[in-house]
Structure 1
Amino acid sequence: MKYTVAIVAIAIACSVIAVSGAPAAGQQEAQVVRYDSDVQPEGYKFAVETSDGKSHQEEGQLKHVGTDHEAIAVRGSYTYLSDDGQTYTVNYVADETGFHPEGEHLPRAVQ
Protein backbone atom coordinates (compact mmCIF):
# COMPACT_ATOMS: atom_id res chain seq x y z
CA MET A 1 0.00 0.00 0.00
CA LYS A 2 2.97 2.36 0.60
CA TYR A 3 3.81 2.03 -3.07
CA THR A 4 0.25 2.88 -4.06
CA VAL A 5 0.42 6.31 -2.42
CA ALA A 6 3.82 6.97 -4.01
CA ILE A 7 2.50 6.03 -7.45
CA VAL A 8 -0.53 8.29 -6.95
CA ALA A 9 1.70 11.19 -5.92
CA ILE A 10 3.85 10.70 -9.03
CA ALA A 11 0.75 10.49 -11.25
CA ILE A 12 -0.59 13.77 -9.84
CA ALA A 13 2.74 15.50 -10.35
CA CYS A 14 2.93 14.25 -13.95
CA SER A 15 -0.62 15.43 -14.61
CA VAL A 16 0.21 18.95 -13.45
CA ILE A 17 3.28 18.99 -15.67
CA ALA A 18 1.33 17.63 -18.65
CA VAL A 19 -1.50 20.13 -18.26
CA SER A 20 0.82 23.09 -17.82
CA GLY A 21 3.33 21.91 -20.51
CA ALA A 22 5.71 24.09 -22.49
CA PRO A 23 4.18 26.82 -24.67
CA ALA A 24 4.35 26.70 -28.46
CA ALA A 25 6.31 29.38 -30.29
CA GLY A 26 4.65 32.79 -29.88
CA GLN A 27 2.42 31.70 -26.99
CA GLN A 28 2.69 32.79 -23.38
CA GLU A 29 3.44 30.23 -20.73
CA ALA A 30 0.26 28.98 -19.05
CA GLN A 31 -0.10 29.51 -15.32
CA VAL A 32 -1.83 27.16 -12.90
CA VAL A 33 -4.91 29.08 -11.72
CA ARG A 34 -6.45 26.35 -9.55
CA TYR A 35 -5.04 23.22 -7.98
CA ASP A 36 -6.84 21.04 -5.45
CA SER A 37 -5.53 17.73 -4.16
CA ASP A 38 -6.56 15.22 -1.52
CA VAL A 39 -4.47 12.06 -1.13
CA GLN A 40 -5.62 9.42 1.34
CA PRO A 41 -4.25 5.91 2.00
CA GLU A 42 -7.00 4.25 -0.07
CA GLY A 43 -7.80 6.94 -2.62
CA TYR A 44 -7.08 10.36 -4.03
CA LYS A 45 -8.60 13.17 -6.04
CA PHE A 46 -7.26 16.27 -7.71
CA ALA A 47 -8.30 19.09 -9.99
CA VAL A 48 -6.08 21.50 -11.89
CA GLU A 49 -6.89 24.39 -14.26
CA THR A 50 -4.50 26.56 -16.23
CA SER A 51 -4.78 30.06 -17.63
CA ASP A 52 -4.91 28.73 -21.21
CA GLY A 53 -8.22 26.95 -20.59
CA LYS A 54 -6.94 23.44 -19.89
CA SER A 55 -8.36 21.49 -16.98
CA HIS A 56 -7.96 18.00 -15.54
CA GLN A 57 -9.95 16.32 -12.77
CA GLU A 58 -9.37 12.82 -11.50
CA GLU A 59 -10.18 10.57 -8.59
CA GLY A 60 -8.93 7.12 -7.76
CA GLN A 61 -10.01 4.52 -5.26
CA LEU A 62 -8.12 1.47 -4.09
CA LYS A 63 -10.17 -1.70 -4.67
CA HIS A 64 -9.85 -5.15 -3.12
CA VAL A 65 -7.69 -3.79 -0.29
CA GLY A 66 -5.36 -6.32 1.26
CA THR A 67 -5.89 -9.01 -1.38
CA ASP A 68 -3.76 -10.25 -4.26
CA HIS A 69 -6.15 -8.37 -6.58
CA GLU A 70 -5.60 -4.93 -5.06
CA ALA A 71 -5.92 -2.28 -7.80
CA ILE A 72 -6.71 1.39 -8.29
CA ALA A 73 -9.89 2.33 -10.14
CA VAL A 74 -9.58 5.81 -11.66
CA ARG A 75 -12.22 8.10 -13.16
CA GLY A 76 -11.46 11.50 -14.62
CA SER A 77 -11.66 14.00 -17.43
CA TYR A 78 -9.57 16.63 -19.12
CA THR A 79 -10.47 19.56 -21.37
CA TYR A 80 -8.32 21.56 -23.73
CA LEU A 81 -8.57 24.12 -26.54
CA SER A 82 -7.05 22.70 -29.71
CA ASP A 83 -5.28 24.50 -32.54
CA ASP A 84 -8.51 24.41 -34.57
CA GLY A 85 -10.21 26.62 -31.94
CA GLN A 86 -12.49 23.87 -30.62
CA THR A 87 -12.69 22.82 -26.99
CA TYR A 88 -12.39 19.08 -26.50
CA THR A 89 -13.21 17.01 -23.44
CA VAL A 90 -12.10 13.45 -22.77
CA ASN A 91 -13.74 11.43 -20.00
CA TYR A 92 -11.99 8.25 -18.96
CA VAL A 93 -11.98 5.27 -16.66
CA ALA A 94 -8.81 3.33 -15.90
CA ASP A 95 -8.78 0.15 -13.87
CA GLU A 96 -7.62 -3.44 -14.02
CA THR A 97 -9.30 -3.74 -17.44
CA GLY A 98 -7.25 -0.89 -18.96
CA PHE A 99 -7.68 2.75 -19.99
CA HIS A 100 -11.08 3.59 -21.50
CA PRO A 101 -11.38 7.14 -22.92
CA GLU A 102 -14.57 8.66 -24.37
CA GLY A 103 -15.03 11.93 -26.21
CA GLU A 104 -17.23 13.34 -28.96
CA HIS A 105 -14.14 13.66 -31.18
CA LEU A 106 -12.80 10.13 -30.51
CA PRO A 107 -13.70 7.12 -32.64
CA ARG A 108 -15.95 4.56 -30.99
CA ALA A 109 -15.38 0.83 -30.98
CA VAL A 110 -17.83 -1.20 -33.02
CA GLN A 111 -19.60 -3.71 -30.84
Structure 2
Amino acid sequence: MAPKVQALLILATICCGAVYSAPADKEPVPIISQESDIQPDGSFKWSYESGDGTKQEQSGQPKQIEKETPVVMQGAASWTDNEGSGHQLTYTADENGYQPQSPDIPVAPEIPPAIARALEYNAAHPEQDGE
Protein backbone atom coordinates (compact mmCIF):
# COMPACT_ATOMS: atom_id res chain seq x y z
CA MET A 1 0.00 0.00 0.00
CA ALA A 2 2.77 2.47 0.89
CA PRO A 3 4.42 2.47 -2.57
CA LYS A 4 1.08 3.34 -4.20
CA VAL A 5 0.41 6.14 -1.72
CA GLN A 6 3.97 7.43 -2.07
CA ALA A 7 3.69 7.42 -5.87
CA LEU A 8 0.43 9.36 -5.67
CA LEU A 9 1.93 11.85 -3.23
CA ILE A 10 4.90 12.38 -5.54
CA LEU A 11 2.50 12.93 -8.44
CA ALA A 12 0.54 15.46 -6.38
CA THR A 13 3.71 17.32 -5.52
CA ILE A 14 4.85 17.37 -9.14
CA CYS A 15 1.46 18.56 -10.39
CA CYS A 16 1.21 21.35 -7.84
CA GLY A 17 4.85 22.32 -7.79
CA ALA A 18 5.56 22.43 -11.51
CA VAL A 19 8.27 24.97 -12.17
CA TYR A 20 7.59 27.66 -14.75
CA SER A 21 10.65 28.84 -16.58
CA ALA A 22 10.25 32.58 -17.25
CA PRO A 23 11.81 34.11 -20.36
CA ALA A 24 15.19 35.75 -19.75
CA ASP A 25 13.77 39.25 -20.35
CA LYS A 26 11.22 38.96 -17.51
CA GLU A 27 11.90 39.94 -13.93
CA PRO A 28 11.93 37.09 -11.40
CA VAL A 29 8.73 36.80 -9.35
CA PRO A 30 9.42 37.62 -5.69
CA ILE A 31 8.28 35.41 -2.83
CA ILE A 32 6.07 37.54 -0.55
CA SER A 33 5.64 34.99 2.24
CA GLN A 34 6.89 31.51 2.99
CA GLU A 35 6.40 29.21 5.96
CA SER A 36 7.60 25.71 6.73
CA ASP A 37 7.14 23.52 9.79
CA ILE A 38 8.36 19.92 10.02
CA GLN A 39 7.67 17.92 13.18
CA PRO A 40 9.58 14.89 14.55
CA ASP A 41 6.49 12.65 14.14
CA GLY A 42 6.61 13.18 10.35
CA SER A 43 3.83 15.74 10.13
CA PHE A 44 4.55 18.92 8.21
CA LYS A 45 3.02 22.12 6.90
CA TRP A 46 4.34 24.58 4.35
CA SER A 47 3.01 27.46 2.29
CA TYR A 48 4.12 30.31 0.09
CA GLU A 49 2.74 33.28 -1.80
CA SER A 50 4.55 34.94 -4.67
CA GLY A 51 4.35 38.46 -6.03
CA ASP A 52 2.18 37.42 -8.98
CA GLY A 53 -0.56 36.14 -6.66
CA THR A 54 0.36 32.46 -6.90
CA LYS A 55 -0.30 30.66 -3.61
CA GLN A 56 0.34 27.10 -2.55
CA GLU A 57 0.04 25.24 0.72
CA GLN A 58 0.37 21.62 1.77
CA SER A 59 0.18 19.72 5.03
CA GLY A 60 0.63 16.09 5.91
CA GLN A 61 0.52 13.76 8.85
CA PRO A 62 1.29 10.09 9.39
CA LYS A 63 -1.79 7.86 9.40
CA GLN A 64 -1.93 4.22 10.47
CA ILE A 65 -3.35 2.20 7.55
CA GLU A 66 -3.34 -1.52 8.22
CA LYS A 67 0.33 -2.41 8.91
CA GLU A 68 1.83 0.75 7.40
CA THR A 69 1.98 4.40 8.38
CA PRO A 70 2.17 6.58 5.26
CA VAL A 71 1.96 10.35 5.38
CA VAL A 72 -1.41 11.52 4.08
CA MET A 73 -1.54 14.99 2.58
CA GLN A 74 -3.89 17.77 1.71
CA GLY A 75 -3.19 20.99 -0.06
CA ALA A 76 -4.32 23.84 -2.25
CA ALA A 77 -2.91 25.96 -5.04
CA SER A 78 -4.14 29.05 -6.85
CA TRP A 79 -2.62 30.94 -9.76
CA THR A 80 -3.40 33.16 -12.72
CA ASP A 81 -2.54 31.93 -16.21
CA ASN A 82 -1.00 33.99 -19.03
CA GLU A 83 -4.48 34.97 -20.29
CA GLY A 84 -5.44 36.40 -16.88
CA SER A 85 -7.80 33.61 -15.81
CA GLY A 86 -7.66 32.49 -12.19
CA HIS A 87 -7.37 28.81 -11.27
CA GLN A 88 -7.81 26.96 -7.98
CA LEU A 89 -7.01 23.40 -7.00
CA THR A 90 -7.49 21.56 -3.72
CA TYR A 91 -6.47 17.97 -3.15
CA THR A 92 -6.14 15.13 -0.71
CA ALA A 93 -3.71 12.25 -1.13
CA ASP A 94 -4.37 9.31 1.17
CA GLU A 95 -5.22 5.60 1.17
CA ASN A 96 -7.95 6.39 -1.39
CA GLY A 97 -5.45 7.90 -3.84
CA TYR A 98 -4.93 11.39 -5.17
CA GLN A 99 -8.26 13.27 -5.10
CA PRO A 100 -8.07 16.67 -6.79
CA GLN A 101 -10.95 19.13 -6.86
CA SER A 102 -11.07 22.08 -9.24
CA PRO A 103 -13.54 23.76 -11.56
CA ASP A 104 -10.87 23.23 -14.25
CA ILE A 105 -11.09 19.42 -14.08
CA PRO A 106 -13.29 18.12 -16.92
CA VAL A 107 -16.48 16.28 -15.97
CA ALA A 108 -17.47 13.17 -17.90
CA PRO A 109 -20.78 13.33 -19.77
CA GLU A 110 -23.79 11.47 -18.40
CA ILE A 111 -24.26 7.85 -19.46
CA PRO A 112 -27.02 7.67 -22.10
CA PRO A 113 -30.25 6.19 -20.65
CA ALA A 114 -30.24 3.13 -22.96
CA ILE A 115 -26.71 2.22 -21.90
CA ALA A 116 -27.54 2.82 -18.22
CA ARG A 117 -30.50 0.40 -18.52
CA ALA A 118 -28.27 -2.19 -20.20
CA LEU A 119 -25.69 -1.90 -17.43
CA GLU A 120 -28.40 -2.28 -14.77
CA TYR A 121 -29.76 -5.36 -16.54
CA ASN A 122 -26.30 -6.92 -16.82
CA ALA A 123 -25.65 -6.29 -13.11
CA ALA A 124 -28.99 -7.89 -12.17
CA HIS A 125 -28.46 -10.91 -14.45
CA PRO A 126 -24.85 -12.08 -14.16
CA GLU A 127 -23.82 -15.03 -16.29
CA GLN A 128 -23.58 -18.36 -14.55
CA ASP A 129 -20.02 -19.78 -14.63
CA GLY A 130 -19.57 -23.42 -15.62
CA GLU A 131 -23.13 -24.10 -16.79
TM-score, structure 2 length as denominator? Answer: 0.62
Counterparts in 2 of 1:25 and 1:83: CA distance versus 1, 3 Å: farther
Question: Are the counterparts in 2 of residues 62 and 71 from structure 1 also a CA contact under 8 Å?
Answer: yes
Question: Are the counterparts in 2 of residues 23 and 30 from structure 1 also a CA contact under 8 Å?
Answer: no
- Equivalent in the alignment of 2:60: 60
Max radius of gyration: which structure?
Answer: 2
Superposed displacement of residue 45, structure 1: 0.5
Counterparts in 2 of 1:47 and 1:29: CA distance versus 1, 3 Å: same
- Equivalent in the alignment of 2:73: 74
What fraction of aligned residue pairs are identical, expressed as a percent? 22
Residue identity matched to 1:59: S
TM-score, structure 1 length as denominator? Answer: 0.72
- Equivalent in the alignment of 1:88: 87
**Secondary structure of the structure 2 residue equivalent to 1:107:** coil
Larger RCO (CA within 8 A; separation ≥ 6)? 2
Superposed displacement of residue 108, structure 1: 3.3
- CA deviations 1:17-55 (Å, max 9, x no partner) are x47643145432111111011101231101111111111
Counterparts in 2 of 1:58 and 1:74: CA distance versus 1, 3 Å: same
Query: What residue ranges of structure 2 are gaps of 5+ in the alignment?
Result: 1-5, 111-131
CA-atom RMSD in angstroms:
2.7
